[in-house]
Amino acid sequence: MPIVEISPSLPTYYESSGTGPPVVFIHPPHMGHTVFKYQHELSDRFQVITYDIRGHGRSGVSDELMTIPRLANDLLAFLDALKIDQAVIVGYSSSGSIAQEFALSHPERVKALVLSGGFPEVTTFTLKRQFQFGMALLRSGQIELLSKLLAVSHKVTKEDKRELFHECLKAHPASAYDFYEKSMQYTCTERLQSLHCPLFLLYGQFSHIRPYLELYKQHVPQMKSVLVSKSLHQVPIKKYHSFNHALSIFLKYL
């Protein structure tokens, strides 16, 4: 089992395939690296790296207060442990908070920033309610229900549903709650103008997150974006063919 120690008593589980330029994928709260299972199809051109953040999946749990800057520092230590000087960082949904914080805090380590269903802050009613719903389920101990909802909403096949469900169950409830909470509180909108690496945004055509695209256009006019047709929010897995193709094209011209 590939594990690296990114700090004392904090083992981090990861999977890596391919030998090309490194692309690191970050998962949302209460999920794990499995949500990017179809991105390993890119390993014929890139080194695809997926990992479980602290308190999730097969990684260790820490009693340190979970904050977005701390999770960004975990990513820095993770890259150091793998001896990767620079990588493309891909954040999906609320893990975009980690990806953006990392790109803003450690710009020399980021070749490009990719956000699937990303947002620099939580401002819309629908998104805020989504966060609050996940936190409420965790607070009330309904871990299996939240895991089932995430597995069903992300599955392509029955096997996906089973794998995602069991991966979600491995998340430490307090860690997942803190990840939700800190991502909901996170904002980097006013710092986006300091983002100098290439920025690529992917949104589902019918995603409730899509309105944030206009916010990015205001602050990072040089960014690139793609709308994936006939899709909602779960683009990396539900529309993985389109996601992988769009990502490959973007990375080809870096």
Q: Which residues contact 108 (CB under 8 A, 6 or more apart)?
A: 86
Q: What are phi and psi of 77, to 5 degrees?
A: -65, -35
For the segment 107-131, what is each residue's pLDDT rounded down to a tens digit? Answer: 999 999 999 999 999 999 999 999 9
E strand or H helix at 143: helix 143-154
Domains and CATH numbers, the chain: 3-252 (3.40.50.1820)
Q: 110 and 102 in contact (C-beta within 8 Å)?
A: yes
Q: 231 and 203 in contact (C-beta within 8 Å)?
A: no
Q: 90 and 25 in contact (C-beta within 8 Å)?
A: yes
Taking each helix axis as running N to C, give the angle between helix 158-169 and helix 143-154, from 0 to 180 degrees, rounded to the nearest 10.
150
Alpha-carbon span 254 to 250, nearest angstrom:
7
Q: 66 and 186 in contact (C-beta within 8 Å)?
A: no
pLDDT for the residue numbered 63? 87
* Residue 7, pLDDT above cutoff 90: no
pLDDT for the residue numbered 9? 80
